[in-house]
Chains A and B, each alone.
Chain A
């Protein structure tokens, strides 16, 4: 930037993250909506890292353990997330396979990588394309919730296929781990503060 950028923090102001009201620094709570005011989200990097790592660890059992267990006339069959995708590919409905693969495998993994990258870039005080990194963050934050898809599919299958001895579907342990991954990555994205990406610009002018 050629022009010197004035941020709220430099002007001694804090913007409320919910209602956008500007308050003098040190106000504590937003006088309008009551949200806690922080110039930057507190311990943003540490919190996001903790949540990203917890999610990364839980991502393993979520993919290895069975998501659902089908019992049909005494036959028991367990399915993981990937075997569900493979089933759809083999039965020819590859658009559905793609939807499940993107929502359950690709997006959570991509989210973990993007958040890690953003955290590392902020910690190394990177100047690399802040505008694109902000956009990357906004996209990550917006798409993360769609990973809940598989949890809802399990909920519906469990409700529908419940015919006693004939056929039942039970939720497997992976469902719990996977739900935890989705919730933790959502919280990790919420704890990350995109303003940190821009703070290096400010330092440069000092």
Chain B
């Protein structure tokens, strides 16, 4: 964000001039203290590399075996989508849809939206409708719940530890890596760097 430009605080609507923010620092609202802008390194190389890694990990955690239930020679192997299918088969289709949205659909769309906007931007081009897509990306964020699911994996493993042996598969490690990679990618992108490509109404 250009220093000296006017900005209204998202949380209290106070109009204020953006001060000069050195790289790596942030500016907060004068009145309510909410974050206004953060100045991140101006490069899309790092987030793009992380997003590509994220795409590979996304495919991995969906394709590879997830958790295996092992007890007295009995083995029951699952995938990430097994629980969703099982909920659906038990007649809980609303729940199945919600989990699928939070765990697979939103993360996939989030990843694609990021790539759709950032790949052309890093080449100094613009994808059609990129600002609209970037808005959808912001709106999707609260519904992106892989990290909460990961905590669920830990709780389930502890819950079943006395009953059987639970063996984590490749998907568990891929999912863990996916969470860190995507968090790093999001942290590396300065949204204002994207918004400022806008040249005014046409």
Contact = CB atoms under 8 A, between A and B. Distances in A.
Interface of A: 1, 5-9, 11, 13, 15, 17-22, 31-35, 39, 88, 91, 93, 96, 99-100, 130-131, 134-135, 137-138, 145-146, 148-153, 155-163, 166-167, 170-171, 175-176, 179, 183, 186, 190, 194-195, 197-199
Contacts of B8: 7-8, 13, 15, 20, 22
B152 A19 contact: no
8 contacts: A19-B195, A39-B13, A88-B159, A131-B33, A145-B142, A146-B148, A151-B99, A155-B95
Given A11-B15, A33-B135, A155 B83 contact: yes
Contact of B11 (A33, A153, A194): A194
Interface stretch (B49-57, B84-92, B180-188): B84-92
A5 B83 CA distance: 53
Contacts of A152: 99, 103, 145, 148-149, 151-153
Nearest to B82: A159
Interface-central residue, A158, A163, A170, A179, by most chain B CB under 10 Å: A158
A18 B138 contact: yes
B190 to A, nearest CB: 13
Contacts of B71: 163
Nearest to B92: A171
Nearest to B198: A32
Given A156-B83, A159-B83, A198-B32, A13 B156 contact: no
A198 B135 contact: no
A58 B78 CA distance: 32
B139 interface: yes
Nearest to B35: A138
Contacts, number: 184
B69 interface: yes
Nearest to A141: B142
Contacts of B163: 161, 167
A39 B135 CA distance: 18
Contacts of B145: 145, 148, 152
Contacts of A166: 74
Contacts of A91: 162
Q: Which 5 A-B pairs have the closest CB atoms?
A: A152-B152, A8-B8, A15-B8, A159-B83, A155-B83
Interface residues of B, number: 62
Given A33-B195, A152-B152, A155-B86, 16 more contacts: A5-B14, A8-B14, A18-B138, A33-B132, A33-B135, A100-B155, A131-B33, A138-B11, A145-B142, A148-B145, A156-B153, A157-B159, A159-B83, A161-B163, A179-B95, A198-B31
B142 A195 contact: no
A99 to B, nearest CB: 7
Interface string B100-113: 00110000000000
A39 B15 CA distance: 13
A161 B160 contact: yes
A5 B7 contact: no
Nearest to B131: A33
A134 B78 contact: no
B15 A32 contact: no
Interface string B130-145: 0110110011001101
A145 B148 contact: yes
B128 interface: no
A198 B12 contact: yes
A175 B83 CA distance: 13
A149 B151 contact: yes
Contact of A163 (B15, B74, B131, B139): B74
